[in-house]
Amino acid sequence: MDDLTTRARTVPLEAGAGPDNPPCPACSEPLFGWLAEVDRLGAPVRRCESCGLGIVGESAGTEEALAALAQSGDQERARFANRAGLACSLGGAGWAGLEPGVHYLFTVEAARRLVARRDQVVHRRRWVPGPSFALTWQTLLNSVTFGHNVALAALGHGRAAPAEERWQRRIDGLASIVLAIPAAIVAVPLELLGALFRGGGVVDLRFELL
């Protein structure tokens, strides 16, 4: 039994490669299922077990992923919701970073491997407190609402996926108001804990040429 366990633990990720597990555009390791199809996203979500990159639906490859990373900043910087953050780990399908229209869900490691394809390195990594607290706060609220990202969208940030029924939307509005302060009280220490262990909700990266 010990030998079988040891062999199972040392099986390389490449062993899972196949039509259902296409290569990650950042590191070429197989992508595995993470979330089943979510209505607001319109496709299942895969993730890379090596670099942490998440992909909603299909990927056209490295160039598309690099273009998506550039859209979060430019060729020299990027700011994104961290799929390797504590808020994502706790929220799962309710993570506020899963907005309608999102395609790539970046991590610092995935960004590092992607920019290496254009001869760049991550020069600086910075946790962004305000957006991070907001992301964690909304993730907590998502756990009690029918819709997704309702509160942040009402404040003019991000895109919401409202609940289908009017009565559900009314409950979501009420819940977001009543629970706003309690959720904020919980979100602050959670996000600080995540930041302490380099798992902050939103990160800002600066790149430079090798």
pLDDT score of 68: 97
pLDDT score of 17: 56
pLDDT score of 7: 44
Q: If DSSP states are collapsed to H, E and C, what string results for 116-154?
A: HCCCEEEEEEEECHHHHHHHHHHHHHHCCCCCECHHHHH
Phi, psi of 99 (to 5 degrees): -85, 155
* Mean pLDDT, residues 176-195: 97
pLDDT score of 15: 54
Has residue 13 got a pLDDT over 70? no
pLDDT score of 1: 47
Query: What is the dihedral sign for C-alpha 37, 38, 43, 46?
Result: negative
* Mean pLDDT, residues 48-59: 96
Average pLDDT over the chain, rounded to whole?
Answer: 92
Which structural domain range is residue 165 located in? Answer: 2-209
* Mean pLDDT, residues 49-72: 96
Q: Report how many domains make up the chain.
A: 1
Has residue 169 got a pLDDT over 50? yes
How does residue 132 score in pLDDT terms, banded at 50, 70 and 90?
A: very high
Which of 14-18, 61-65, 72-76 has the weakest average pLDDT?
A: 14-18
pLDDT score of 165: 96
pLDDT score of 8: 41
How does residue 6 score in pLDDT terms, banded at 50, 70 and 90?
A: very low
